[in-house]
Amino acid sequence: MDMSQNLGKTAARKPIFNMQFCGLFPYVMALFFLLGIMRVAGAETSPHFKPGEWKIEAVMTLKSSSPGIPGMPSRESSFLECLSAHNLVPDQKARMPKGCVLSRHLQGNTLAMTIRCGSSVTRGSYTYSGTTFKGQSVTTMRGNLPMSMETRFSGQYVGPCRKSGQ
């Protein structure tokens, strides 16, 4: 058996696609996008935003464009976050990964954003309406395993923040 045949057999035994990592990365990027949207919206002071505790829901769908690698079923998540006009998300949660570039544009009640992180690009927009918001983002990842993820967000004002000082 020559060396190339041996390498082919070795490579066949190792997983080419780490589903756990690739399944987690897009969701982490979507969370950074959401946190970036909220932080920036507060800095630009949307007139139709109500400070307080918000329930945020997200539905994420991952689609693979690599042959032989399936997409993943939609994943839903929900969490509460205390948001204010000056700081919609606490600083420690809103930090962008090193090397990522954020651009944004606020027009009326709609905030459009783009985040570029290495070989991934996330584009999305959110529209605020008093005590609710709706939005969506699409993350496209290039490289050996190209894929995209669509995330739809909705937020609902719940009431005053429960924690003191926020």
Residues 80-91 pLDDT 10s: 888 776 554 433
Structure tokens at 100: 């990522």
The CATH number linked to 124 is 2.40.128
Write the single-letter amino acid at 75.
Answer: R
CA angle (86 as vertex; 41, 47 as ends), nearest 5: 50
**What's the structural domain count of the chain?**
1
Q: Is residue 124 part of a domain?
A: yes
Q: Is residue 126 part of a domain?
A: yes
Q: How far apart are CA 89 and CA 119, in angstroms?
A: 26
Q: Is residue 134 part of a domain?
A: yes
Which residue would you say has higher pLDDT here, 26 or 109? 109
Structure tokens at 84: 């204010």
Domain ranges, residue 76 = 17-87+99-159
| Short-list 86, 56, 62, CA closest to 74 | 62
66 in the Ramachandran plot: left (φ > 0), alpha (ψ -120 to 50) or beta? beta
Q: Is the pLDDT of residue 7 over 50?
A: no
Q: Is residue 8 part of a domain?
A: no
Q: Is residue 2 part of a domain?
A: no
Q: Is residue 94 part of a domain?
A: no
Q: Which pLDDT does position 38 carry in this prediction?
A: 54
- pTM greater than 0.85 (yes/no): no
Mean per-residue pLDDT over the chain, rounded: 71
